[in-house]
C-alpha cells in the first residue's frame, strides 16, 4: 500500500478531467465546494459549478433541471445533508424521473471524526440502496473514487457515490478495473470470506494479515458496487470458505451487511457457520479521532480479526 489520500480528493479533480475530455459535466453544491472539492471544477470553468448556498433541497432541484438539458450533473455536500436532508427530492424527482443526476456527497461515516454524531452519516447507504433506479458505489480509496465518478458519468440515470473525509491507504491491486455491478477479490483465502466496502476494505486486508499469523486464510472481497451487488463473486467465495463476514463503516441495518445477508439467505447450504455483520450497531456516532473511533465502534482490523476467531 502507498501513501494515504481521502476519497473526496478525487472528486473535483476527476470532474475537471471529464470536462477536459469533452463530457458536459456540471456540479451543483450547497455552500461546501471547498470541502467537497467541487470548487476545482468551478476554478477550471466558473459556469460549470453552481453554488446554491445552504439550500440542499434546491441543490437537487437545480441539478434535476440541468440534467433535463442533457448535462451530466453531480451534486456536492456532506453526506448527512446530501442524502438525509434531501431524501424527498432524490426520491420523487431524481429517482422517480430516472434523471441523470449523480448524488456524490463527501464526509460520510464516522471517519468524519471530530465533527461528531450530528455530521457522521451512517444511514446513507440504506437510504440510497432502497430507492428504485438508484445505483450505489462505495469506493475504498482515492483511485477507486476516481473510477466511481467516471462510471457515474458514463452510466445514464441516478448514481450514489459515497466519499469520505479521512485520508486512507491506497489499495494495491491488479485484479482488473472497477465497474458497476462488479466486486474485486483482493486476496484469496480458504477459511473465511470478508466482504467489505469503503474504508473497511483496508482494515479487512490488515485483518487478513493478522489472521494469517493465526493460521487462518481469509479471502477479501471489495464490494465496490453495493447496488447492483456482484452476487456471483460473493457466492463463489462463500462456496469455497463456508464462512462469510461483512464489514462496513455504516449501520449494520440496511447496508452492505443486509445486502449480503439477504443473498446468503437464499443459499443457506453454502454456509457452515452463521454470517456475521461488522458495522455500527444501531447507534449514532460521536466525536473523536479516526483510530479511536474505529476501535470504539469495532471497525478496526483487530476487531475484524476478533470477530473471525470468535
Q: Which of 56, 200, 248, 258 is catalytic?
A: 56
The two beta strands, 192-196 and 218-222, are: parallel
**Burial of residue 134, with CB atoms counted within 10 A of its CB: 0-12 exposed, 13-18 middle, 19 or more buried:** buried
**Burial of residue 174, with CB atoms counted within 10 A of its CB: 0-12 exposed, 13-18 middle, 19 or more buried:** exposed
Evaluated on CA atoms 295, 77, 67, 17, the torsion sign reads: negative
Whole-number Å distance between alpha carbons of 173 and 116: 33
* Residues sharing a CB contact under 8 Å with residue 149, sequence separation 6 or more, in sequence order: 10, 11, 14, 15, 18, 74, 102, 104, 161
Whole-number Å distance between alpha carbons of 161 and 25: 16
Is residue 56 part of the annotated active site? The answer reads: yes
Whole-number Å distance between alpha carbons of 15 and 28: 12
* Residues sharing a CB contact under 8 Å with residue 125, sequence separation 6 or more, in sequence order: 136, 138, 162, 226, 248, 250, 254, 255, 256
Joined together, the cell numbers standing for residue 227 give 447496488
Q: Which residues are catalytic?
A: 56
Amino acid at each position: 500500500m502507498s501513501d494515504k489520500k481521502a476519497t473526496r480528493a478525487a472528486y473535483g479533480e476527476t470532474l475537471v478531467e471529464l470536462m477536459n475530455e469533452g463530457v458536459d459535466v456540471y456540479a451543483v453544491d450547497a455552500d461546501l465546494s471547498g470541502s467537497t472539492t467541487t470548487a476545482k471544477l468551478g476554478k477550471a470553468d466558473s459556469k460549470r459549478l453552481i453554488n446554491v448556498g445552504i439550500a440542499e433541497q434546491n441543490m437537487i432541484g437545480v441539478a434535476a433541471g440541468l440534467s433535463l438539458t442533457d448535462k451530466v450533473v453531480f451534486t456536492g455536500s456532506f453526506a448527512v445533508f446530501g442524502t438525509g436532508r434531501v431524501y424527498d427530492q432524490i426520491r420523487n424527482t431524481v429517482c422517480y424521473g430516472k434523471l441523470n443526476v449523480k448524488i456524490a456527497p463527501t464526509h460520510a461515516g464516522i471517519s468524519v471524526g471530530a465533527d461528531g454524531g450530528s455530521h457522521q452519516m451512517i444511514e446513507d447507504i440504506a437510504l440510497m440502496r432502497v430507492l428504485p433506479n438508484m445505483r450505489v458505489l462505495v469506493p475504498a480509496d482515492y483511485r477507486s473514487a476516481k473510477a466511481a465518478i467516471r462510471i457515474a458519468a458514463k452510466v445514464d440515470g441516478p448514481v450514489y457515490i459515497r466519499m469520505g473525509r479521512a485520508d486512507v491507504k491506497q489499495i494495491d491491486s491488479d485484479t482488473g478495473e472497477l465497474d458497476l455491478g462488479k466486486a474485486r477479490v483482493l486476496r484469496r483465502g480458504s477459511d473465511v470470506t470478508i466482504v467489505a466496502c469503503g474504508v473497511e476494505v483496508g482494515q479487512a486486508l490488515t485483518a487478513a494479515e493478522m489472521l494469517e499469523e493465526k493460521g487462518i486464510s481469509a479471502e477479501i472481497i471489495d464490494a465496490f458496487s453495493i447496488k447492483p451487488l456482484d452476487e456471483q463473486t460473493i457466492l463463489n467465495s462463500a462456496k469455497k470458505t463456508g464462512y462469510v463476514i461483512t464489514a462496513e463503516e455504516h449501520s449494520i441495518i440496511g447496508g452492505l451487511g443486509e445486502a449480503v445477508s439477504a443473498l446468503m439467505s437464499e443459499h443457506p447450504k453454502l454456509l457452515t457457520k452463521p454470517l456475521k455483520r461488522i458495522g455500527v450497531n444501531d447507534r449514532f456516532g460521536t466525536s473523536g479521532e479516526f483510530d479511536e473511533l474505529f476501535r470504539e465502534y469495532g471497525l478496526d482490523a483487530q476487531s475484524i480479526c476478533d470477530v473471525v476467531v470468535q
